[in-house]
Amino acid sequence: MGGQSTTASDPYFPANGDPRYRVNRYELTLTYRPGPNRLAGTARIGAIAGRAPLPEFHLNLAEFKVGRVLVDGRAPQYTHRGGKLRVRPAKPLPAGAAFTVEVHWSGNPRPVRSPWGGIGWEELTDGALVASQPVGAPSWYPCNDRPADKASYQISVNTPSPYTVVAGGRLLTRTTRASTTTWVYEQPAPTSSYLVGLSIGMHQTVLLGDPGLGGVRQSAHVPAYLLPRFSRDFARQPAMMQLFEELFGPYPFGEYAVVVVDEELDVPVEAQGLAMFGTNHVDGIRGSERLIAHELAHQWFGNSTTIADWRHIWLNEGFAKYAEWLWSERSGGRSVHDLAAAAHRLLAAQPQDLRLADPGRKLMFDDRLYERGGLTVHAVRRALGDHAFFRMLRDWATTQRHAVVTTAGFTHHASRYAEGPLDELFRAWLHEPALPPLPA
């Protein structure tokens, strides 16, 4: 399934997003002061009404003070409570009409509450980090917070000059006046709200690999004291990029940045063209190399090919898990078959109550989803044979580049490369909770 949006609410998060319209552009102008954790912002949002006239619409925005709202330059009626900014223009917007919304807001950003704890804007000891998956984006800007609604972004951040600001996309300008610096980033590729990453911290910037050789520009932003360990741990990332481009097709964005924040993180975080790691992922002995591969693979699977709603999350995590196994084998580590067998043993000893194609909100980040997702990809590989499988995989990532995808879309795509029907394989691996046998 291609295209830029779907017309249904997300079944796991029905309060997030408004399917009656879609956004094509966000321009965010932010001022942030780390000491008092104070954020003031203006959003200019370019959007298009859906197939029906739009008497009102809503944006998701956490409990900030809203100073002003304009629709096409005119003041509408609006209410803001419970994380929703409900906007009623003076006249209903015609079906299919392009319109512009401007929102001014300010306050102390903090994570939004979720079943997984606080997510979104996180104040660090010295700086800030945004990790929004799945519904944390409204913790810092007004958005149509649904994964299928992808838009381009320009993000301007003014903050005290000692800090480095990193966002996904290309750094257009960096302007210092008095004691503050304004950083402006442009991400032209269609981006889901949860994948808009931001880091503000004391970092040193280094380049990985040599972009002058025609490769992807890869930069890293790291606390200075961690650079010796970092340079060993991430030394093989350019080789990973090369392998994944060979297997999955061209890297889907203009550049790739990694940030190491000066705090421990439970897990690394992927964002569009960007991944963030904690100090605990930098040990000088490549102890987290599989996670480096996992986050890089998400640029193809999850970020470029984006799920229509959260029921399909295995399409993100299963392929990123399988990419870990592919990297391990190609870099002289354990083979894909060994890693698949270990994952199968692990799952066989655990409860059999996970339906991969629709795990439910409670289990969508369960470790079993990642392992079973990887095993499902392996089962497809065994059924197709290597030649057809890798052709199928590359075609999936390239034909669905920057599109919105579903499980049904993937199974239809994969079936075109098989000599016989795959219905039974997909039923067993995706729709039944019982764990099928390890693919022979």
Element containing residue 121 per DSSP (H, E): strand 120-124
Of the pLDDT bands very low, low, confident and very high (cuts 50, 70, 90), residue 295 is very high
Topology of domain 308-431 in CATH is Neutral Protease; domain 2 (1.10.390)
Of the pLDDT bands very low, low, confident and very high (cuts 50, 70, 90), residue 88 is very high
Contacts (Cβ under 8 Å, ≥6 apart) of 368: 347, 350, 354
Output the pLDDT for position 9: 79
Output the pLDDT for position 137: 98
Residue type (1 letter), 428: A
Are residues 77 and 148 in contact, defined by beta-carbon separation less than 8 angstroms? no
Q: Which residues of 256-287 are buried (b: 16+ CB within 10 A; e: fewer)?
A: bbbbbbbbebeebbbbbbbbbbbbebbeeebe
Q: Mean per-residue pLDDT for 37-55?
A: 97
Distance, C-alpha 88 to centroid of its chain:
30
Q: Domains of the chain: which residue ranges? A: 1-200, 308-431
What tokens appear for 414 in the block?
């994969």
For the cut 90, the answer to whether the pLDDT of residue 339 exceeds it is yes
The model's pLDDT over 179-191, given as tens digits with 9 standing for 90+, comes to 999 999 999 999 9
Q: Mean per-residue pLDDT for 334-356?
A: 98
Q: What is the full DSSP assignment across 349-413?
A: TS-----TTS--GGGTT-HHHHHHHHHHHHHHHHHH-HHHHHHHHHHHHHHTTT-EE-HHHHHHH
Q: What is the mean pLDDT of the chain?
A: 96
Are residues 186 and 172 in contact, defined by beta-carbon separation less than 8 angstroms? yes
What whole-number percentage of the chain has pLDDT above 70? 98
CATH, domain 1-200, list 2.20.25.90, 1.10.3430.10, 2.60.40.1730, 2.40.50.140: 2.60.40.1730
Of the pLDDT bands very low, low, confident and very high (cuts 50, 70, 90), residue 439 is confident
The model's pLDDT over 151-190, given as tens digits with 9 standing for 90+, comes to 999 999 999 999 999 999 999 999 999 999 999 999 999 9
Of the pLDDT bands very low, low, confident and very high (cuts 50, 70, 90), residue 7 is low
Full-model pTM = 0.96
The Cα 220–Cα 328 span in angstroms is: 22
For the cut 60, the answer to whether the pLDDT of residue 4 exceeds it is no
Distance, C-alpha 408 to centroid of its chain:
21
For the cut 90, the answer to whether the pLDDT of residue 225 exceeds it is yes
Of the pLDDT bands very low, low, confident and very high (cuts 50, 70, 90), residue 212 is low
For the cut 90, the answer to whether the pLDDT of residue 224 exceeds it is yes
